[in-house]
């Protein structure tokens, strides 16, 4: 039996200052609330968006956006 790993998004709410860069880079999964803080619509990252998710994580100026890998 082969297990497929699922990548999920996570935001460190303490580190985030609401700059909104993640929502600009990954609008398919992240919205902004009325104060500019990110809201993850769907924590599971589809295969077609994995590269974009990695770029958004790398671009976060405060390292508040993360991707985690777990069993599918």
Residues counted in the chain = 72
Number of domains in the chain: 1
**Residue among 44, 40, 57, 58 nearest 6 (CA):** 44
Angle 37-43-48 (CA atoms, 0-180°, nearest 5)? 110
Question: How far is 20 from 37, CA to CA, in rounded Å?
Answer: 7
* Burial class of residue 21 in the structure, from the number of CB atoms within 10 Å of its CB (0-12 exposed, 13-18 middle, 19+ buried): middle
What's the pTM? 0.84
Token pair, residue 45, equals 């990252």
Q: Which domain holds residue 57?
A: 5-71
For 44-54, the pLDDT digits (tens) are 999 999 999 99
Res 65 pLDDT > 60 = yes
Domain of residue 33, CATH code = 3.30.70.20
């Amino acid at each position: 039996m082969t297990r497929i790993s699922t990548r999920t998004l996570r935001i460190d709410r303490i580190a985030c200052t609401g700059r909104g860069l993640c929502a600009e880079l990954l609008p398919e999964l992240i919205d902004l609330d009325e104060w500019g803080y990110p809201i993850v619509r769907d924590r599971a990252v589809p295969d077609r968006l994995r590269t974009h998710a990695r770029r958004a994580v790398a671009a976060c100026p405060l390292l508040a956006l993360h991707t985690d890998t777990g069993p599918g």
